[in-house]
Copies of this chain bind each other. A is one copy, B any other.
Amino acid sequence: MNAPDKLAQLLSLTREPFPASRKVHVPGMLHPQLQVPMREVALSNGETATLYDTSGPYTDPAAEIDVRRGLPALRAGWIEARGDTELYTGRERKALDDGTKHEEREAQRIAALRAEAAALQRQPRRAKAGANVTQMHYARRGIITPEMEFIAIRENGKREWMAEYLADSEKAERLRGNPMGAKIPQLITPEFVRDEVARGRAIIPANINHPEIEPMAIGRNFLVKINANIGNSAVTSSIEEEVEKLVWAIRWGADNVMDLSTGKNIHTTRDWIVRNSPVPIGTVPIYQALEKVGGVAEDLTWEIFRDTLVEQAEQGVDYFTIHAGIRLAFIHLTANRRTGIVSRGGSIMAKWCISHHKESFLYEHFEDICDIMKQYDVSFSLGDGLRPGSGADANDEAQFAELRTLGELTQVAWKHDVQTMIEGPGHVPMHMIQANMDEQLKHCHEAPFYTLGPLTIDIAPGYDHISSAIGAAMIGWFGTAMLCYVTPKEHLGLPDRDDVKQGIIAYKIAAHAADVAKGHPTSRARDEALSKARFEFRWQDQFNLSLDPDTARDFHDETLPADGAKVAHFCSMCGPKFCSMKITQEVREYAAAQEGMAQKSAEFRAGGSEIYIPLNKA
Contacts and interface: CB of A to CB of B under 8 A. Distances in A.
A534 interface: yes
Interface stretch (A3-11, A86-94, A269-277, A468-476): A468-476
Given A175-B392, A458-B530, A492-B552, 20 more contacts: A331-B591, A334-B587, A341-B580, A347-B581, A347-B583, A351-B583, A355-B590, A389-B581, A390-B528, A390-B531, A429-B513, A430-B474, A430-B517, A431-B516, A431-B518, A459-B512, A461-B546, A462-B546, A463-B506, A470-B513
B547 A601 contact: no
A616 B408 contact: yes
A342 B584 contact: yes
Nearest to A582: B347
B295 A578 contact: yes
Interface in A556-598: 556, 558-560, 571-575, 577-578, 580-581, 583-588, 590-591, 597-598
A420 to B, nearest CB: 13
Interface string A398-441: 00000001001101100000000000000001111000000000
Interface stretch (A24-32, A136-144, A519-527): A519-527
Contacts of A548: 460, 462-463
Interface of A: 165, 168, 172, 174-175, 177-178, 262-263, 290, 295, 297, 328-329, 331-332, 334-335, 338-344, 346-348, 350-351, 354-355, 357, 359, 363-364, 366, 389-392, 394-396, 405, 408-409, 411-412, 429-432, 456-463, 465-467, 469-470, 473-474, 477, 488-489, 491-494, 496, 505-506, 508-510, 512-514, 516-519, 524, 526-528, 530-532, 534-535, 542-543, 545-548, 551-552, 554-556, 558-560, 571-575, 577-578, 580-581, 583-588, 590-591, 597-598, 600-601, 604-605, 611-612, 614-616
Contacts of A591: 331-332, 335, 354
Nearest to A414: B616
B597 A470 contact: no
Contacts of A477: 430-431
A325 to B, nearest CB: 11
A174 B394 contact: yes
A616 B531 contact: no
B431 A290 contact: no
B332 A601 contact: yes
A373 to B, nearest CB: 15
Contact of A509 (B391, B392, B411, B466): B466
A581 B342 contact: yes
Contacts of A580: 341-344, 346-348
B542 A461 contact: yes
Contact of A506 (B466, B474, B492, B554): B466
A590 B334 CA distance: 13
A459 B546 contact: yes
Nearest to A344: B580
Given A332-B597, A583-B350, A601-B331, A340 B616 contact: no
Contacts of A552: 461-462, 492
Closest 3 CB pairs of A and B: A493-B559, A340-B584, A390-B531
A97 B598 CA distance: 38
Nearest to A287: B578
Count chain B CB atoms within 10 A of each CB in A328, A405, A604 and give the residue with the most. A328
A21 B469 CA distance: 30
A246 to B, nearest CB: 20
B517 A429 contact: yes
Contacts of A461: 530, 542-543, 546, 552, 555
B466 A577 contact: no
A220 B588 CA distance: 38
B493 A558 contact: yes
A600 B332 contact: yes
Contact of A392 (B262, B329, B432, B528): B528
A468 to B, nearest CB: 10
A584 B580 CA distance: 57
Given A347-B584, A430-B517, A517-B429, A493 B604 contact: no
A588 B611 CA distance: 73
A43 to B, nearest CB: 14
Nearest to A557: B493
Count chain B CB atoms within 10 A of each CB in A391, A432, A531, A605 and give the residue with the most. A531
Given A466-B466, A597-B331, A516 B430 contact: yes
B517 A431 contact: yes
B496 A558 contact: yes
A477 B506 CA distance: 21
A429 B177 contact: yes
Contacts of A546: 459-462
Given A340-B585, A351-B583, A364-B611, A493 B431 contact: no
Contact of A513 (B347, B462, B467): B467
A616 B295 CA distance: 33
A290 B579 CA distance: 12
A457 B614 CA distance: 34
A339 B579 CA distance: 13
